A and B are shown apart, each in its own frame.
Chain A
Amino acid sequence: YDYHTGDPKADLAYERQYEHQQTYHVIPEVIKNFLQYFHKTISDLIDQKVYELQANRVSSESIEQKIYEIQDVYQGCVKLINSDSRFIMLQKISYSKKKSGFDGFTTAHLMCFMLSDADGPAPLELPNQWLWDIIDEFIYQFQSFSQYRCKTAKKSEEEIEFLRNNPKIWNVHSVLNVLHSLVDKSNINGQLEVYTSGGDPESVAGEYGRHSLYKMLGYFSLVGLLRLHSLLGDYYQAIKVLENIELNKKSMYSRVPECQITTYYYVGFAYLMMRRYQDAIRVFANILLYIQRTRNMFQRTTYKYEMINKQNEQMHGLLAIALTMYPMRIDESIHTQLREKYGDKMLRMQKGDLQVFEELFSFACPKFLSPVVPNYDNVHPDYHKEPFQQQLKVFAEEVQQQAQLSTIRSFLKLYTTMPVAKLAGFLDMSEQEFRIQLLVFKHKMKNLVWTSGISALDGEFQSASEVDFYIDKDMIHIADTKVARRYGDFFIRQIHKFEELNRTLKKMPLTGASSSASNSTSRAT
């Protein structure tokens, strides 16, 4: 099997030799990896299925049947690979080298290339979870390689030479092309449009799109594009690619939890960078509730569980930032959780501590990428950090532009009417500067908010600021939002508890229980 020596030049020469061959007796490394990946995934899947079925007391014949079905899928893939001449193209571009950066063309990439350049729909039925994993993995590989490529400090001359001579490996355009062709092939956008207007998507699905495999790959590619554009700092495009997906509904497409979570993470983050605070808060609160409720489902593999945990923490962080910039009421349970995790940090951010903002942003933001191949002759050691620094800078600037607003807000809450000059004095500002800050307050608190329509980009300018004001000549008039204390809920719950307790007591035997009963009642208050 191992005809690849690990020396890129020799390997390349070797590949070229076999370029025009029709049949392969030697299965190249990357294909071997693919088959191993499939075999392992199928074994896992079989184990899992057997476990599920046994737990549900399904007959052993049914279990065997299920196993055959899954093995059929596996055989289908193997046959496809062995008979398909699409191999040839992959041979041209795949290099296998045992170092992490060069494993770029892995199973995921292989799958995508195969399917996106197909001459006809591949006769495969794969679980949605797999399809999501494939797209997810594909982008992750691109991400890893991009970052690897930029860290030239610890590379050997040989590696740098190889990179320099092969700028097309994991080129951002080809990654985009793969995703776009999966989207086009399935006509997923057309299908979604028809679906949301109540029609039958099959009518526009086309030859490929009617197969679940292509339809779902198309859908997951949209999410992939959302992610990719976000990683490249184009937030507008990121949300735009999802314009046919109703993000506020749980549609039939989105049953893979990791896909849901990833989608809302990136959408929320994009909203935050677009200064659509209300939308960001709404999106984060929703998905955090979703995670809270479905937590128990995520025991599949530890790796996935950890990833969801991490995104959960990150989204709490982003929500903390958004709520600091734009205080508004959110779901009580999420708010409690948030205070537990980030209460202290939120207080410091409210006081204007830029460092906390930046730390939280650094923790919670995506791992940004540069789409550009570095100039290997002139790369300084921190080059790989630049995409992140760039986004951090835009964020920090925004925070600084709004630096005074938090303090002004707290002062506004204290009064209803006052001369502008006097309030300026309290805030230790000149009247002119204070008037300017008031303009900034109004400007920054009026954001685009999604109200209706399919596209998440739609919106109207609204302000739901808890404290509002207007200036009339020399006076400022302030309107606050007061929220009455909620006691009804608390009382109702306690009354129910007490009744429950009473019922339990009545059922208890009288002998010897009287002393413990009186203890219980006193504890109930």
Chain B
Amino acid sequence: MATTFEQMRANVGKLLRGIDRYQFNPAYFQTTVTSQILLKALTNLPHTDFTLCKCMIDQTHQEERPIRQILYLGNLLETCHFQSFWASLEENRDLIDGITGFEDSVRKFICHVVGITYQNIEYRLLAEMLGDPLDTQVKVWMNKYGWTENEDGQIFIHYQEESVKPKNIVEKIDFESVSSIMATSQ
């Protein structure tokens, strides 16, 4: 998984530099290419490429269609309003025409967030978050991540207890600090 992320990352770097050119020469600003770059950036979540793109698209262009729509979708993803995201995407399906595997990348991100938050999650809830009204996706993604289904309609992710443990940071006094005191006291 790390390799795929790295590859995407390298590409997005080039794409961001692509934006540079358009930014420097406003006459050549191309809405289509910018939209593509933004959508590509969304597929790289949780990396912050999308946020960094926003820093390089000026306000006027941010308000143009379809950039405004894409920014709205991005916002929904960043704030984990996944159900709203799928609903919104339904109304703007044509936006993602040029990007292969867009929905899969988004689902990958959603599974990432679910994976770090839940130990057991209700089946229905996961299905909703994955934008899966027909129940086709959930099993696919469960398989990908090795998640198993329990009897009571729950999906087991993995044991979180090892990574989420209370920590006690205790003061350590090293020998050197007290040695001088010990030496002078009789």
Contact = CB atoms under 8 A, between A and B. Distances in A.
Interface stretch (B32-40, B87-95, B112-120, B136-144): B112-120
A435 B54 CA distance: 27
A326 to B, nearest CB: 14
B166 to A, nearest CB: 4
Contacts of A438: 117
Nearest to A483: B169
A191 B128 CA distance: 54
B58 interface: yes
Interface residues of B, number: 52
Interface string B83-106: 000000000000000000000000
Contacts of B113: 439, 442-443
A439 to B, nearest CB: 4
Interface in B150-186: 154, 160-161, 163-171, 173, 177-178, 180-181, 184
Contacts of A401: 75, 78-79
A394 B14 CA distance: 21
Contacts, number: 145
Nearest to A438: B117
B8 interface: no
Interface string B33-69: 0000000000000111101101110110000000000
A472 B75 CA distance: 27
A485 B169 CA distance: 9
Interface string A372-399: 1000000000000010011101100110
A470 B160 contact: yes
Contact of B164 (A232, A469, A489): A469
Nearest to A275: B48
Contact of B55 (A394, A437, A468): A394
B121 to A, nearest CB: 7
Given A372-B23, A401-B78, A461-B46, A471 B118 contact: yes
30 contacts: A232-B20, A234-B17, A234-B55, A236-B13, A236-B49, A240-B13, A275-B48, A371-B23, A372-B23, A390-B59, A391-B55, A401-B75, A416-B166, A435-B125, A436-B81, A442-B117, A443-B46, A461-B46, A463-B116, A468-B163, A471-B121, A481-B167, A482-B168, A484-B170, A484-B171, A486-B171, A488-B171, A489-B173, A492-B181, A496-B181
Given A237-B16, A237-B20, 5 more contacts: A275-B51, A371-B24, A443-B80, A479-B165, A489-B177
Interface of A: 172-173, 232-237, 240, 273-276, 370-372, 386, 389-391, 393-394, 397-398, 401, 416, 435-440, 442-443, 446, 448, 461, 463, 468-473, 477, 479-489, 492, 495-496, 499
